[in-house]
Amino acid sequence: MEVFKDLIFGFGVVLQPMNLLYCFFGVLVGTLIGVLPGVGPPAALSLLLPVTFYVPPVSTVILLAGIMYGAMYGGSTTSILVNIPGEAASVVTCLDGYQMARKGRAGAALGISAFGSFIAGTITIFLLIFLAPPLAGFALKFGPPEYFALMVLGLSIMVYLARGSIINALIMVCFGLIIGTIGLDQMTGVPRFVYKSITLMDGIGLVQVVIGLFGVSEVLINVETTFKQEIFKTKVKGLLPNREDWKRSIGPIGRGTILGFFLGIIPGMSVVIPTFVSYVVEKKLSKSPEKFGTGMIEGVAGPESANNAASVGTLVPTLSLGIPTGASTALLLGALMIHGLRPGPLLIQESPEVFWGLVASLYAGNVMLLVLNLPLIGLWVKILKIPYHFLFSLILLLCIIGSYIINNNPYDVIIMVTFGLIGYLMKKFNYEAAPLVLALVLGPMMEKAFQRSLMMSEGGFGIFFTRPISASFFILALLILFSPLFLRKKRLREDLRAGD
């Protein structure tokens, strides 16, 4: 088949020693940068973009792909080890990954994360090759009403994200939505809740919030009482996932891959959302949903695969249409353009070695990631053995630097601390952080989509229901929102019967 011939050609390009070296270098640097909280693929790519200029085009592409992957994986490492999300998409990994680490299963968590990412990457690259053009066309069908409907759907799955009181979770959602409005309104330029503060005018960044809410608050909770309690069980039960872990994880990995890929295709879809969706799906499908949040490996395997799959998904519109879907892909495009390449429908025809080299390099990057990181798991786990009365200061330092580096603005650190305090209070009073984060991500997108849709329809609400895609999302959302009611009635009836 034509495609396989091209793919082999692509591999031929990638497997040259120089290019392999670039790939390795990219993955290594990417991982290191990604481990730093607050620095995700976009930052890593832009930090190293200048380097690519001295490198031939194809190698550039390979290098960048390696960096992207590395940074993604690095983000999960800190999430699992110290509950600091390395980047926004790793937030969900914190929920169960960190708990696994506390139980001495950090190795398994890191391992399943690496493997899950690898499997997801491999599958989605094939999907990319074969399905890119038709998928890109599908992606274009997403206009403002579809986005709005999708966001509403996203918020409705929130119902299942909550571990405890649903009302508290919903209050967190509202809180997140409100925080998301702080800053200049995108549609009218009017400052909202800014009170003349320059930092606030830019809005409250997701990364600062997340580092504070998860990382700092965790430290605060731990220092409440003396450290005689072991924060981390030092006896590590095996470094890699065992057979039972694999049995439980295969399903989530598969589902996460599909979910991540198809959601990632949608232009502008943040990589964060597929991870949340995957988590909720796994929770819903699990036989013991109440255990989620205490260290269920499904809660790591699914989202990590979704993360990787979504990143590959974002490449679909980028490569086939030349439309960037987010910060990382925009940088990739920019790098290509600097080299005089024009991504888009013509890229495959004009410069096949670049396109196929990229595709092959994605795969190589994937393999490289696994090869590089599996041995490192032993190293990471050793870090946990550092006594907590020293470790916690390192964690705090990492949080500070991570939040400062975003904008070189000390006020970002202040925001982080504030949310650290808020997160601590939330933990003490039983309010969950995850719904807040989801709302913070969805809120601004939702509002813009809503306003644009109304402009398109000149004020009529029908537009949401006359378009097939958005209508189906709304129906789905309604079903999800009201299904607990039906389930509760059933359970109530069963309880009553049992009580007799």
Site for other proteins in 355-394 (CB under 8 A): 389-390, 392-394
**Taking CB under 8 A as the criterion, which residues in 177-196 touch other proteins?**
177-178, 181, 183-193
If the CB atoms of residues 233 and 339 are measured against other proteins, the closer one turns out to be 339
Binding mask 308-327 for other proteins (x = CB under 8 A): ---------x---xxxx-xx
Q: Which of 3, 12, 53, 483 binds other proteins (CB under 8 A)?
A: 53
If the CB atoms of residues 20 and 170 are measured against other proteins, the closer one turns out to be 170
Q: Do 403 and 207 touch, CB atoms closer than 8 A?
A: yes
Binding mask 233-272 for other proteins (x = CB under 8 A): ----------------------------------xx----
Instruction: State how far the Cα of 426 lies from the Cα of 412, in Å rounded to an integer.
Output: 20
**Taking CB under 8 A as the criterion, which residues in 150-169 touch other proteins?**
165, 167-168
Closest distance of CB 283 from other proteins, Å: 22
**Taking CB under 8 A as the criterion, which residues in 411-470 touch other proteins?**
411, 413-414, 416-417, 420-421, 424, 429, 431, 443, 447-448, 450-452, 454-456, 458-461
Instruction: State how far the Cα of 6 lies from the Cα of 357, in Å rounded to an integer.
Output: 9
Q: Which of 216, 362, 368, 369 binds other proteins (CB under 8 A)?
A: 216
Closest distance of CB 456 from other proteins, Å: 6
SS3 annotation, 196-240: CCHHHHCCCCHHHHHHHHHHHHHHHHHCCCCCCCCCCCCCCCCCC
**Under 8 Å CB-to-CB from 101, ≥6 apart: which residues?**
80, 81, 109, 232, 384
Closest distance of CB 83 from other proteins, Å: 15
Verify binding: residue 396, other proteins, rule CB under 8 A: yes
- Which residue from 377, 303, 372 is spatially nearest to 108, judged by alpha carbons? 377
Q: Which of 20, 131, 171, 471 binds other proteins (CB under 8 A)?
A: 171
- Which residue from 79, 65, 82 is spatially nearest to 27, judged by alpha carbons? 65
**Distance between the two ends of the chain, CA-based, in angstroms?**
68
Verify binding: residue 224, other proteins, rule CB under 8 A: yes
Closest distance of CB 144 from other proteins, Å: 7
Three-state DSSP class for residue 324:
coil
Three-state DSSP class for residue 337:
helix
Structure tokens belonging to residue 321:
């249409």
- Can you tell me which residue has the tokens 């939040």? 403
Q: Tell me, by CB under 8 A, how many residues bind other proteins.
A: 108
